[in-house]
Structure formats: structure tokens, C-alpha cells
């Protein structure tokens, strides 16, 4: 495998497997690969919905198959050889309470796919989540994988992701594979996600319907309403980071994928209004009791390891990212497209 300095050339000659390739991050990754001249891409995902089909129609890939048959075909050799596996398929709902289901989908499937990739000598990159950091009391640093032992995620989804991170660490896999803790990623191709859509997407819809954006009230005195903060990252930046780390053979282990800066919900809402040329109108609503005790009030990625691994691109400022998303995708109804 070549070094990260030759990254564009790597993808032109690579065969790539993307699980969850019809989803939000997955389809954005396929788009970014297409822009690098890579179309020898096998997508593993469930039959696409109408929204996902529109996103897929704008992309170039060589095959599409059901994830339930993927492992068997990989193990039998029926799918041939791959250079990279991006495992982005998962149950991403923070509201999912079926622990057994989450264990099967987010832990066991990922574990088995990683075992195959390690045996086959294929570069393996999988999606973890910033939700694994819990309330943030143990910090949000990816510098030392031993810190994983201290983290206490706040919901079953986050626990399922955390268990895979722990397993990979304990098995010594982080000498060879990459786990990416994505922070609050937003952008084109997320319209199918329902309640898991980003606040940008939901806010745009609220403005179009009522002219008002509704945000949760704060239930902690140190945070005013709407001043809860997140590390928001544009999906175009997220996939650039993902491909850069994948192409660097010395970049292994856990990496945060974020902007490195926390912004409030109020700032995010104001950016949506600015993109639409409207004066801000924000209302604060009650947070459902079921999530009040498990709500993250602050996230901010430490991205020193990402930068140290050679990722030197500037990160799109929040207002600029929101404007691109709103004006070029939400207002037009277009998915990511074009090489």
C-alpha cells in the first residue's frame, strides 16, 4: 500500500467494499471515491428506499448486495479480492432499546467482518461514534486507547459501539485497523434518517413549515437554553478525513473525526436562518423526560491524532458548511452527485 502522499492515485486502482453504502455516510463516501476516479465499489446494504435510490442513482459503483449474504460470500471467495473495506453500516438510532439487536448488528457483525478482513490482509476501517464518550467526564481524547476502559456511554446504541472498540483494543486489532469516532456529522443524503436526521435538516424543514426553529431547553444551570454545544462536522469533511486515514498505512487505532470546535445549537440555528436570508426565530421546547438524564451537553473532538496522521486540509467553517448544505442540497432537493 502506498503512502498517504499518493492518496489520489491509490483510489484509482483500488477495489473497495462499502457497507451501508446506500446510507448517509456510506453514500457520501462513495461520492468522494467517485471524485477520485474510483468506481470499482461494491455496496452492501438493504434494499434502498425511494430517497436512498435517488442518492444511489447519482453514484458509480460496480455491484450491490444484501449485507445478510455478504459475510458468506466474502468467506467463500465469491466476491474476489478487495483493497479496502469501509464498514459504515449499522443501526445508528440512539433511541433503539433492543440490546440484543444492537449487539448483533453493531458488535457481532462488525467483529466478524473485521476478523475476515484481518485474515485476508484487507485494510479495514469501521465507524464508531462520539456517543461512546458518554457525558464527557472522562474527556474526548483518542490519544491513548487504554482510556477506552473508563468510558461510560449513555445509551444502548453507544454501548454497542463501545463494546466493539473495547474488543478491538483487547484483541490487539488496533495495530492494523482503523476505528473512527464520528462526531455530529450533517449534510446531503441524510433525508432518509427520520428522527436521526441532523438538526440542520430538521431546522430547515421547520423554517419552511412555520418560520421557527425549535430547540430543546436546557436542564443544567451552567447551560442556557440552546447553548448546549456539539462538535458539528460537514459530511464532505468527514469523508475526506476517512479516506485520508484509510490511505495512510501507519494510521491505525481509534481516531476522532470532528472539527475540533464546539458550537451551540443557537449558533447552528442562526446559520440556517442566515443561509435562508431570514431573521432568526427560535423557540425552546421541553426535552422528553426519557432522554434528559442521558443527554450530551457538550462534545468537542480532540483532533491532534488526525492532524498528526497527515490530514492537513482546512475544515469547513460551520456557517459555510450550513450554507452549502441548505442552498445547494436542501433547497434544490439534490443528492451528492458528480465526479
DSSP letter (8 states) at residue 133: G
The helix (run of H) or strand (run of E) holding residue 314 is none
> How far is residue 115 CA from its own chain's centroid?
22
Nearest to 11 by CA among 19, 22, 2, 20: 2
Q: At what angle do helices 235-247 and 318-325 cross, to 10 degrees?
A: 110
DSSP letter (8 states) at residue 143: S
Residue 217 designated active-site: no
Q: Which residues contact 321 (CB under 8 A, 6 or more apart)?
A: 186, 187, 232, 234, 236, 237
Rounded to a whole number of angstroms, the distance between the first and last alpha carbons of the chain is 24
Q: Which residues contact 180 (CB under 8 A, 6 or more apart)?
A: 125, 126, 127, 128, 241, 242, 245, 254, 255, 257
Cβ atoms of 200 and 268 closer than 8 Å: yes
Catalytic residue among 193, 219, 294, 297: 193
CA distance 9 to 273: 40
DSSP sequence for 160-209: HHHHHHHHHHHTTGGGT-EEEEE-EEE-TT-GGGGGGS-HHHHHHHHHHH
CA distance 304 to 91: 29
* Residue found under cell 451501508: 20
Nearest to 155 by CA among 104, 111, 93: 93
Q: Per DSSP, what are the bridge partners of residue 87? A: 19, 126
Catalytic residue among 109, 126, 133, 157: 157
Residue 157 designated active-site: yes
Q: Which residues are catalytic?
A: 157, 193
Amino acid at each position: 500500500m502506498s503512502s498517504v502522499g499518493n492518496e489520489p492515485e491509490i483510489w484509482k486502482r483500488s477495489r473497495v467494499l462499502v457497507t451501508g453504502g446506500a446510507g448517509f455516510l456510506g453514500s457520501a463516501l462513495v461520492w468522494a471515491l467517485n471524485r477520485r476516479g474510483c468506481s470499482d465499489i461494491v455496496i452492501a446494504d438493504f434494499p434502498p428506499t425511494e430517497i436512498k435510490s435517488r442518492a444511489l442513482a447519482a453514484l458509480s459503483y460496480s455491484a450491490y448486495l444484501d449485507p445478510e449474504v455478504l459475510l458468506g460470500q466474502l468467506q467463500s471467495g465469491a466476491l474476489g479480492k478487495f483493497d479496502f473495506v469501509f464498514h459504515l453500516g449499522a443501526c445508528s438510532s440512539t433511541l433503539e432499546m433492543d440490546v440484543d439487536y444492537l449487539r448483533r448488528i453493531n458488535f457481532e457483525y462488525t467483529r466478524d467482518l473485521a476478523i475476515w478482513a484481518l485474515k485476508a490482509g484487507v485494510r479495514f476501517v469501521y465507524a464508531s461514534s462520539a456517543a461512546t464518550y458518554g457525558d464527557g467526564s472522562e474527556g474526548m481524547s483518542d490519544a491513548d486507547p487504554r482510556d477506552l476502559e473508563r468510558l461510560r456511554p449513555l445509551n444502548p446504541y453507544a454501548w454497542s459501539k463501545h463494546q466493539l472498540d473495547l474488543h478491538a483494543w483487547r484483541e490487539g486489532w488496533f495495530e492494523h485497523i482503523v476505528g473512527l469516532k464520528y462526531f455530529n456529522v450533517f449534510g446531503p443524503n441524510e433525508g432518509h434518517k427520520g428522527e436521526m436526521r441532523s438538526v440542520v435538516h430538521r431546522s430547515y424543514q421547520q423554517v419552511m413549515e412555520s418560520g421557527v426553529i425549535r430547540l430543546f431547553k436546557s436542564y443544567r444551570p451552567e447551560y442556557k437554553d440552546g447553548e448546549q454545544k456539539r462538535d458539528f462536522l460537514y459530511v464532505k469533511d468527514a469523508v475526506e478525513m476517512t479516506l485520508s486515514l484509510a490511505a495512510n498505512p501507519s494510521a491505525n487505532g481509534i481516531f476522532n473525526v470532528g472539527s475540533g470546535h464546539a458550537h451551540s445549537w443557537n449558533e447552528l440555528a442562526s446559520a440556517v436562518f442566515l443561509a435562508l436570508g431570514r431573521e432568526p426565530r427560535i423557540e425552546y421546547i421541553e426535552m422528553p423526560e426519557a432522554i434528559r438524564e442521558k443527554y450530551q451537553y457538550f462534545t468537542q473532538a480532540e483532533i491532534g491524532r488526525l492532524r498528526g496522521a497527515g490530514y492537513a486540509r482546512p475544515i469547513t467553517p460551520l456557517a459555510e458548511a450550513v450554507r452549502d448544505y441548505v442552498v445547494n442540497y436542501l433547497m434544490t432537493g439534490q443528492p451528492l452527485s458528480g465526479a
